[in-house]
Structure 1
Amino acid sequence: MNKAQRTIFQVASFMIAFAFLGSVIDYVGAAPDIEDLKIEINKRSEKIQELEAQIRETKNTIGDLQKSERTLANEIARLDAQIKALYLDIALTEEQIGSLNLELERISLEIKQLEDKLYETKKQTAGILRSLQETAEYASPVTLVFSSESFSEVFDNLTAGERLEAELILIIRDLKTTKQTLEEKRIMTEKKKQELETFRETLAVQNSILISEQDDREDLLYTTNRQENQFRQTLKTLEVQQQTIEKEIIQFDAQLRRLVNPSALPSKGALSWPTDVVRITQYYGSTASTGFINDQYLFHNGIDIAPPSGIGTPIKAAASGTIIGMGNLGRLAYGKWIAVDHRNGLITLYAHLSKQAAQLGQSVQNGDVIGYEGSTGFSTGPHLHFTVYASETFRIEERSYGLLPVGASLNPMDFLE
């Protein structure tokens, strides 16, 4: 091979090496920005862990207060603890939003880095292919034999050509890997954006619930005039009203039970759990067997679910259906409630909500968020009361205190998956 031929091969080999080197240089140049973001993300993660620990501690306090005697001081302490928990939840959500924004910024830099690498690799590959095309006449075995001064030079030239082809194959493989990584980063970006939108929605809900809890606290102080005796009198009045409502619910349940058609009921698995985390604190049936702490209840027509996350936990439709009822009974019975007809022989009730997130007549899919856990109505603490009715027996009765859902209740455990 003459000097000109050797130069062409050397230039082509250098271009391949530069393609790899260029991608490394790009990576190193972008690294400090990405590393800075990683440090900030780690700081956010540590803050999130601290907030989660504070939230757990505060919610343990709420649990202890729920078991305490219902006095004005304990009720105010419980509301204060719930308000504190909501403030911490809001701070946690804000940190999670901040962390996600940093993640998106980091991924954006990584995508830019990959796009630069892709561009440079494509450009270098195109240059190498042009060089190979230009030198094709020198690379044929026949040409090499007649143009070389010795057999050893023929061997060297063939080896150089094979090495060039092998290195080109490696570049093409690297190009494919880069494209795949780039696509994965873009998919990850979309997922992070969806998470960010969810957190923003959660933040809006948490702020709304916080205002409601603060209003409840002020209302309690106002109606009791900050006096323990006044609180006890108010509580006694509520208990008497609650006993009347409970008797009416049980009577309707017994009367309408004869209308239940067992053959029209679906099998187990027809319903999904309405919360992501399930912690049952009260089962369906006679309170003598379920262990309900309030003596005025003889029968519990649903199950109580109290996820550790507490007030503001998303409550989801247990199956697809239509919102056929919703109401607010204030400090009585179910408080804020929603009923969903699943068109499979079952209607589900979601009670004690802090916030309703659906409209009457709205169609919902299995797993759609329709409300948020709370402690409205006659309740000693945050939880979801979940009742399942035979659909042909369900009624909504108008009363002076609001709309009261009634019907023949069924054991939810018979239908939950």
Structure 2
Amino acid sequence: MTIVAVLLLWQQGSADVIDDLKSEIEQKNAEIQKLNEEAEKYRAEVEAKQQEAQTLKAEISRVNNSIGKLQRDIAITERTVERTELEIKTLTLEILEKERAINKLRRGLAGLIQVLFEQSERPLFVSLVGNRFLSDFFTQLDYVAMLEDRILGSLDNLRVLKSDRESKKTAAEKKQQELASLKNSLGGKKAVQESIRNERNNLLSVTRNEEKRYQTLLKEQEEKRAKLEDEIQAIEDTIRITVDPSSLPPKRAGILEAPLPELSVASCWQMGSADSKNCVTQFFGYTSFARAGGYGAKKGHNGVDFRAPIGTPVLAAENGTVSAAGDTDLGCRGASYGKWILIAHPNGLSTLYTHLSNISVAAGQDVLRGSTIGHSGKTGYATGPHLHFTVFATQAVQIESIRSKVCGRLMTLPIAPVNGYLDPLDYL
């Protein structure tokens, strides 16, 4: 139902139209709740499969469950768009109702003021002698007092109506912004779904659906990743930059916004399964994986890894400008960050978001704290869907195009000296 159609019906009976719209909104809420329950089942399946050994069958099952969850997420977003449009129509009618009530009250108020003016124009002595009985005179005085009370009451009602109207207008504006955000999110989720389907098709094509080929592929990717880490470390070791501590914000929680919804800074392994959404799978620095040589000789983990099912919105940690965005898979598939975004913030920090399934922003674009910049995924070298989140001192990070010896092609990514990497948990 378009806004024009709603307005035509409103002229016939606004209360009934508003009730019908509210009934439709409740129906959408019920549909969204059901879809949320279905999406949660798929999320649980994905999480359960994530704990299984890396086999081709398990990976295809994980991908299929991710696609199933995304289909529900897309349906939820579509229903939410429809619900928001209904809410906007309802608010539009309610605003018109307030306008009509205000105009009616104004007309009544004008009439009362006119009568009061006419009464006040008569001198008190004339009114007194013009009445046959003294009681009539006092009745007339009571009438004038009643008019004054009604005028004051009408003015109070007018103020309330105007306040309600402005509240409805503000709510309608917020709903319009919410609608634009939802439509943008819907486009992003559809892009993620297409990306996952392509990933599945590519995996089946490369492995020819054979487990042995899949295990060979995993081994080759791990070897490429290790060699590439050594190449990057060799370059970073040549960078000499002194980071001025005064250029950085104080270390305290809240300096940066969580880069994922429902984020926890606790380890996933220390949490119950019911509380483990978007928790930490690997901390910053010399973790056990890093000490085992996972990132090259004497190199720690340069960020924090958060669990994030494919398609989870990735959020800007602070207001800033996108310094660059790229995809290392174009130069060396399955060996590094995959799709990544780097944002410079006014507070002296820069934040990096990697392994994304899609990117929703471009270099030079200004972003707001908490706004969606992309969606989580499993691009680059990743044993499972997650968000790798790095914090740099802005003065230390730079974008480099490296011709990797491992893959033989140019690959663009952010690099920094070891003192340019900061622990994200100092600021989240």
Q: TM-score range by the shorter chain?
A: 0.7 to 0.9
The alpha-carbon distance between structure 1 residues 112 and 360, as it changes in their structure 2 partners (threshold 3 A), is: closer
The alpha-carbon distance between structure 1 residues 106 and 261, as it changes in their structure 2 partners (threshold 3 A), is: closer
Higher helix share: 1
Which string of whole-angstrom CA distances, capped at 9 and with x for unpartnered residues, describes residues 74-102 of structure 1?
A: 10011001111111111000010010111
Aligned to 2:154: 171
Q: Secondary structure at the match of 1:242?
A: helix
Aligned to 1:389: 392
Which string of whole-angstrom CA distances, capped at 9 and with x for unpartnered residues, describes residues 252-274 of structure 1?
A: 55x25864435365132554433
The 8 Å contact of residues 324 and 360 in structure 1, kept in 2 or not, is answered as yes
In the alignment, residue 427 of structure 2 is paired with which amino acid? Answer: L
Q: C-alpha displacement at 1:176, in angstroms?
A: 1.6
Match of 2:354 among 351, 355, 362: 351
The alpha-carbon distance between structure 1 residues 35 and 258, as it changes in their structure 2 partners (threshold 3 A), is: same
Aligned to 2:221: 238
Q: C-alpha displacement at 1:189, in angstroms?
A: 1.0
Q: Distance in 1 between matches of 2:181 and 2:171?
A: 15
Q: C-alpha displacement at 1:317, in angstroms?
A: 4.8
The 8 Å contact of residues 325 and 342 in structure 2, kept in 1 or not, is answered as yes
1:50 is aligned to 2:61: no
Aligned to 1:406: 415
Matches for 1:173-252 after TM superposition, within 5 Å: 173-252=156-235
Question: Which runs of 5 or more structure 2 residues have no equivalent in the other structure?
Answer: 1-9, 265-279
Q: Secondary structure at the match of 2:336?
A: coil
Q: Distance in 2 between matches of 1:348 and 1:190?
A: 31
Match of 1:332 among 327, 330, 335: 335
Q: Secondary structure at the match of 1:285?
A: coil
1:131 is aligned to 2:142: no
Aligned to 1:20: none
The 8 Å contact of residues 256 and 407 in structure 1, kept in 2 or not, is answered as no
1:102 is aligned to 2:86: yes
**Runs of 4 or more consecutive aligned structure 1 residues displaced over 6 Å after TM superposition:** 291-295
Instruction: Kindly report the root-mean-square deviation, in angstroms, between the aligned alpha carbons of the 2 structures.
Output: 2.9
Matches for 1:80-95 after TM superposition, within 5 Å: 80-95=64-79
TM-score (norm 2): 0.81
Q: Distance in 2 between matches of 1:229 and 1:131?
A: 96
Q: C-alpha displacement at 1:405, in angstroms?
A: 3.5
Match of 2:124 among 132, 138, 141: 141
In the alignment, residue 283 of structure 1 is paired with which amino acid? Answer: F
Q: Highest Rg: 1 or 2?
A: 1
The 8 Å contact of residues 317 and 369 in structure 1, kept in 2 or not, is answered as no
Q: C-alpha displacement at 1:65, in angstroms?
A: 1.4
Question: In the comparison of the two structures, how many residue pairs are matched?
Answer: 387
Aligned to 1:300: 301
In the alignment, residue 63 of structure 1 is paired with which amino acid? Answer: E
Q: C-alpha displacement at 1:339, in angstroms?
A: 2.4
Q: Distance in 2 between matches of 1:198 and 1:343?
A: 24
Aligned to 1:284: 284
In the alignment, residue 273 of structure 1 is paired with which amino acid? Answer: A
In the alignment, residue 403 of structure 2 is paired with which amino acid? Answer: E
The alpha-carbon distance between structure 1 residues 315 and 292, as it changes in their structure 2 partners (threshold 3 A), is: farther
Q: Distance in 1 between matches of 2:292 and 2:90?
A: 54
Which string of whole-angstrom CA distances, capped at 9 and with x for unpartnered residues, describes residues 308-340 of structure 1?
A: x65241331545244145333232221111223
Bigger shift: residues 244-253 or 177-186 = 244-253
Q: Distance in 1 between matches of 2:33 and 2:291?
A: 34
Bigger shift: residues 259-268 or 333-342 = 259-268
The 8 Å contact of residues 266 and 344 in structure 1, kept in 2 or not, is answered as yes
The 8 Å contact of residues 35 and 76 in structure 2, kept in 1 or not, is answered as yes
Q: Secondary structure at the match of 1:333?
A: coil
Aligned to 1:274: 259
Q: Distance in 1 between matches of 2:46 and 2:366?
A: 35
The 8 Å contact of residues 323 and 358 in structure 1, kept in 2 or not, is answered as no
TM-score (norm 1): 0.83
The 8 Å contact of residues 322 and 341 in structure 2, kept in 1 or not, is answered as no
Q: C-alpha displacement at 1:398, in angstroms?
A: 2.9
Q: Distance in 1 between matches of 2:345 and 2:222?
A: 33
The 8 Å contact of residues 322 and 362 in structure 2, kept in 1 or not, is answered as no
The 8 Å contact of residues 95 and 168 in structure 2, kept in 1 or not, is answered as yes
Match of 1:38 among 10, 14, 22: 22
Which string of whole-angstrom CA distances, capped at 9 and with x for unpartnered residues, describes residues 218-263 of structure 1?
A: 111111111111211212211211222233344555x258644353
Q: C-alpha displacement at 1:412, in angstroms?
A: 2.4
The 8 Å contact of residues 397 and 414 in structure 2, kept in 1 or not, is answered as no
Aligned to 1:18: none
